[in-house]
């Protein structure tokens, strides 16, 4: 038998070997892929667990980048937080990846480059881009997409936590301001009462020279102004109790005739309305609505006081009261500087003063917050419209069902801002 002769059994074995080897190779590749997938699944689980245990009192970006690099071992990681405008890196980068990460976000480009081994993902919360992820290293595309989703959820949790902390801090600051205002106002009340009593006594004594009488009148006038400001401070502190919006304030409901109330408010302005032309429009005439007369009076006083301060000299001021089936709408219209849209959103916040108003007249930023709280105490709403051609109008809506069964459930029109 020659050396090249292969027995039938050996030939069969060789054929089998040739057939089995490709199968084994495919099986080994599949096993390796399965093993790699299982490892990435474990890493994804650990990455998710680490984000859930993350301390969200500090920025999550650095922790996310380090955890991702530690668990998946890519060459480099870059995470861009669009809200904070910061890029967080981990691993080795030959070139600073900051610009690349920001471009991925701005151009919303997600892809995988097998030649460079760089994967890009836009980090989205729903359909809204909020950042980006750039990974340098051979990682599974599905894994990269899953990581981007986890980052989006973590960013959202951080923002929610930060917002909750900010709201609580604002509430605490509001409570402290209310306490300080209340203390200061009460401290001022006693000496003011003594000053007013003394000035009134001097005036009643008579035998004052014209100069002395003028000085006594000035003391009395300024003491009254200080007393009014002190009353405002006390009122805003009281209206700011609870959640700071006045909605928990007890309202003393009584029939209010708007025409008589407006006349009373105009008369109470005194020197502040000197030189102003104030018109009154009430529809229907002689109607009444249910409300707290004192609170509504403060609201209208503030609206009219603002109109007298900021309206153009010689232009008319119009006070309107209109009753419909659902509400009584009070408004004060004047012509003056236009209130910018950004200020219209905040002008009813306590202590807020727009740049335009701060340069035109003195003020504390308290009055409009009182107006807002007075309306909210009635279950109503306030807002402002301002246009160069139409002028500026401050509105207040008081529900018509106030004082009726179920009236406490009234909510403001959702189309209105405040």
66-89 burial by CB neighbour count: b if 16+ within 10 A, else e? bbbbebbebebbbbbbbeeeebbb
Largest Cα span, the chain: 156
Per the structure block, which two tokens stand in for 409? Answer: 């459930």
Residue range 8-57, pLDDT digits in tens: 555 555 545 555 566 555 655 555 555 556 777 888 888 988 888 888 88
116-132 average pLDDT score: 94
**331/300 Cα distance (integer angstroms):** 8
CATH class for domain 254-409? alpha beta
Q: In what order do the strands lie in the sheet with 277-283?
A: 277-283, 316-323, 327-334, 391-399, 381-387
Q: What is the pLDDT of residue 1?
A: 46
Per-residue pLDDT band for 165 (boundaries 50, 70, 90) equals: confident
Distance CA 362, CA 52 (A): 51
Residue 104 scores a pLDDT above 80: yes
Superfamily of domain 54-244: GAF domain (3.30.450.40)
Confidence of residue 351 (pLDDT cuts 50, 70, 90): low
**Coil, strand or helix: which one is 333?**
strand
In which residue ranges of the chain is CATH 3.30.450.40 found?
54-244
Q: What is the pTM of this model?
A: 0.48
Q: What is the average pLDDT across 169-183?
A: 71
Dihedral angle sign, alpha carbons of residues 105, 107, 110, 111? negative
pLDDT (tens digit per residue) in 197-213 = 888 888 887 778 888 88
Q: Under 8 Å CB-to-CB from 382, ≥6 apart: which residues?
A: 299, 348, 368, 371, 372, 375, 376, 394, 395, 396, 397, 418
Determine the pLDDT at residue 411: 35
Mean pLDDT value across the chain: 81
- Angle at which helix 293-310 crosses helix 258-269, to 10 degrees, equals 50
Q: Is 246 left (phi over 0), alpha (psi -120 to 50) or beta?
A: left
Average pLDDT over residues 99-127: 94
For 200-253, how does the pLDDT look when each residue is reduced to its tens digit (9 = 90+)? 888 887 778 888 888 888 888 888 878 877 776 676 666 655 444 555 567 889
pLDDT in tens, 382-408: 999 999 889 999 999 999 876 554 443
Give the separation between CA 332 and CA 271, rounded to whole angstroms.
19
Domain with CATH 3.30.565.10 in the chain: 254-409
Range of weakest confidence among 89-103, 261-275, 373-387: 261-275
Task: Give the least confident one: 21-25, 104-108, 110-114, 370-374.
Answer: 21-25
Distance in angstroms (rounded) separating the CA atoms of residues 11 and 253: 108
Name the phi and psi angles at 245, rounded to 5: -115, 0
What letters, b where the CB count within 10 A reaches 16 and e where it falls short, cover 337-352? bbbeeebbeebbebee
134-162 b/e with 16+ CB inside 10 Å = b? bbbeebbeebbebbbbbbbebbeebbeee
- Distance of alpha carbon 232 from alpha carbon 392, whole angstroms: 24
Kindly tell me the burial class for residue 269, based on how many C-beta atoms sit within 10 Å of its own C-beta (0-12, 13-18, 19 or more).
middle
Average pLDDT over residues 73-99: 95
For residues 376 and 251, the answer to whether their CB atoms sit within 8 Å is: no
In tens, the pLDDT along 362-379 reads 544 567 888 898 899 899
Please, are residues 298 and 370 in contact by the beta-carbon 8 Å criterion? yes
**Pairing mode of beta strands 277-283, 316-323:** parallel
């Amino acid at each position: 038998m020659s050396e090249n002769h292969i027995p039938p059994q050996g030939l069969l074995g060789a054929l089998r070997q040739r057939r089995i080897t490709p199968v084994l190779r495919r099986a080994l590749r599949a096993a390796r892929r399965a093993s790699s997938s299982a490892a990435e699944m474990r890493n994804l689980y650990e990455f998710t667990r680490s984000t859930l245990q993350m301390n969200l009192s500090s920025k999550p970006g650095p922790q996310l980048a380090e955890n991702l690099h530690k668990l998946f071992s890519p060459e480099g990681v870059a995470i861009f937080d669009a809200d904070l405008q910061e890029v967080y890196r981990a691993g080795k980068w030959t070139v600073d990846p900051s610009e690349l990460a920001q471009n991925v976000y701005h151009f919303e480009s997600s892809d995988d480059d097998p030649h460079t081994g760089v994967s890009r993902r836009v980090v989205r919360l729903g359909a809204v881009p909020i950042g980006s992820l750039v990974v340098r290293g051979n990682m599974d595309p599905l894994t990269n997409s899953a990581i981007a989703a986890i980052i989006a959820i973590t960013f959202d949790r951080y923002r929610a936590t930060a917002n909750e902390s900010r709201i609580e801090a604002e509430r605490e600051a509001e409570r402290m301001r209310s306490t300080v205002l209340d203390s200061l106002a009460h401290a001022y009340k006693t000496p003011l009462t003594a000053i007013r009593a003394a000035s009134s006594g001097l005036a009643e004594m008579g035998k004052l020279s014209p100069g002395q009488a003028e000085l006594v009148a000035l003391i009395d006038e300024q003491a009254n102004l200080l007393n009014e400001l002190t009353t405002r401070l006390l009122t805003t502190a009281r209206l700011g109790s609870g959640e700071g919006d006045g909605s928990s304030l007890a309202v003393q409901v009584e029939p209010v005739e708007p025409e008589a109330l407006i006349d009373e408010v105009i008369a109470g302005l005194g020197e502040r309305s000197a030189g102003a032309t104030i018109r009154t429009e009430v529809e229907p005439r002689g109607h009444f609505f249910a409300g707290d007369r004192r609170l509504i009076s403060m609201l209208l006083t503030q609206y009219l006081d603002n109109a007298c301060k900021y309206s153009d000299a010689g232009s008319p001021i119009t006070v309107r009261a209109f009753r419909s089936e659902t509400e009584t709408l009070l408004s004060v219209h004047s012509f003056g500087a236009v209130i910018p849209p950004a200020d219209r959103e905040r002008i009813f916040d306590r202590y807020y003063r727009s740049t335009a108003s701060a340069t035109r007249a003195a003020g504390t930023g308290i009055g409009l917050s009182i107006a807002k709280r007075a309306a909210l105490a009635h279950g109503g709403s306030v807002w402002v419209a301002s246009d160069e051609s139409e002028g500026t109008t401050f509105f207040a809506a008081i529900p018509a069902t106030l004082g009726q069964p179920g009236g406490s459930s009234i909510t403001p029109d959702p189309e209105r801002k405040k």
